Amino acid sequence: MKNFIKGLLPKGMRNKLKSMAPGNSGGMAVAVPYTIQVSKPGLLEGKVAVVTGGSGAIGRAICCRLAADGAMVVVCGMSHDKMQGVVDEIKANDGQAVMKQLDISSEEKISEFYQWLKDTYQQLDILVNCAGGSARQASRPIYELETETIDNTLHVNLRGTMLCTREASKMMVEAKSGAIISVTSVIGEHGKAKFSEYAAAKAGIIAFTKSIAMELGNLGITANCVSPGIVQRGTITPAQMAKLKKTNYMNAYGRPEDISEMVAYLTREEGKFITGQNFKVDGGRSLGLKGD
């Protein structure tokens, strides 16, 4: 059989393979070094992670996942009680976490936060931009959309993400290492009626992420987006969920943990060669926004 296969190859290729064989002994084997690494607890041990919007449903799951992998997690948000709940949950499972109030609509507060981070930990390995949201009650067709709604939505989602990333990147550039993940939305790529300001903000984050991936890649820093579809959370009633889950092709809704697992993968050693990408975790919703 070996002689038959050899006969199918051009002479030049046979000689090339022969020269590549171990010991050049004339065999047809080609040695290709390959290492398989098995995931295990402590993958992020010694890493410091900042999660904005860390007290929300998705943010909470991300904080807990990163802490379970060994990272020291800084839970950022606006609600003291909700952040405390996340920190307590992490510590109850032998993880490390602290909470820090952060208003990402304020450039001054963002600067103060990163100065505190640098003074306290002297490093930042992971940034997850999870803060944001849509003004669902104020969303209107474009011809009825209030300027205040446009400004607030862009301010919190796009501008806040850009400012947090700018300050985080300064620390990562010094270390020549880091992972930046921004939680966006499938709406940012496919749009949605009466959500034009939200779609624009999320689309901006996706384009922003691709751009900084080009800037930071040669410095050892990755930048990616994760775009959820419908995710179960406490603010959505069971009746609403029953309707919303029909908007994807799995006829189901996602769990916050579905998003956190994708985020966690991008922070690990296994994800270090992935950058500038937008990962849709949406049950197929973006295949056509079925029923949306």
Distance CA 79, CA 205 (A): 24
- Strands 278-281, 221-228: parallel, antiparallel or unpaired by DSSP? parallel
Residue 101 contacts residue 87 (beta carbons within 8 Å): no
As given in the structure block, the two tokens for residue 58 are 């998705």
Q: Where are the beta strands (DSSP E) in the chain?
A: 48-52, 72-77, 96-101, 126-129, 178-183, 221-228, 278-281
Is 34 a residue of the active site?
Answer: no
CB burial class (10 A; 0-12, 13-18, 19+) of residue 194? Answer: middle
Burial 33-71 (b: 16+ CB within 10 A, else e): eeeeeeeeeebbeebbbbbbbbbbbbbbbbbbbbbbbbb
Helix (H) or strand (E) holding 200: helix 196-216
User: Which of 34, 114, 121, 198 is an active site residue?
Assistant: 198
Residues classed as catalytic: 198
